[in-house]
Amino acid sequence: MNPSLPSIPLSWYLLLSAVLFTLGVAGFLYRKNIITVFMSIELMLNAVNLSFIAFAYQWRQVEGHIYAFFVMVVAAAEAAVGLAIILTIFKNRATLQIDDVDSMKL
């Protein structure tokens, strides 16, 4: 490894993960399209995965990768079911705006 180049501290990866997670929360809060909200959730899951893998590097343990793998599997399953729900909502209501689907709102 070239010693003249400074290497990146792991905290930068964690900060990037926090920034991505916050952007995901912002998208979740401010967007009105159900599909975009759903994609914001995927963004949050990805940010958490980056944290898992960064900590796996910190402790030199493969468990972090396993957890990230399970998060990925659950996210894939969630995407399948969630998109089926979105299809059903669109079939029944012909809209994808979150504000139009508020039957369960108090």
Partner 1 sequence: MDTVLFIVFAAVAVACAVNLILQKHPISSALSLVGVMGSLAVLYLLLGAEFMAVTQIVVYAGAVMVLFVFVIMLLNTGQETGGGKSWFAQVAGLPLLLAFIALMGLLICGPLMPRLRAVQFGSWHGGTARAIGRAIFTDYLLPFEVTSVLVLIAILGAVVLARKEID
The single residue among 48, 81, 93, 103 that binds partner 1, judged by CB under 8 A, is 81
Closest by CA to 97, choosing from 42, 43, 37, is 37
CA dist., res. 29 & res. 70, Å (int): 26
Site for partner 1 in 20-59 (CB under 8 A): 20-27, 29-33, 35-36, 38-40, 42-43, 46, 49-50, 53-54, 56-58
Q: Note whether 69 binds partner 1 by CB under 8 A.
A: yes
Rounded to the nearest whole angstrom, what is the least distance from the CB of residue 23 to partner 1 in the complex? 4
User: Is residue 101 a contact point for partner 1 (CB under 8 A)?
Assistant: no
Binding of partner 1 by 93 (CB under 8 A):
no
DSSP result, 45-71: HHHHHHHHHHHHHHHT-THHHHHHHHH
Rule CB under 8 A: is residue 65 a binding residue for partner 1? yes
Kindly state the DSSP code that residue 5 receives in the 8-state scheme.
Answer: S
The distance of closest approach from Cβ of residue 104 to partner 1 in the complex, given in angstroms and rounded to an integer, is 15
CA distance 36 to 41: 9
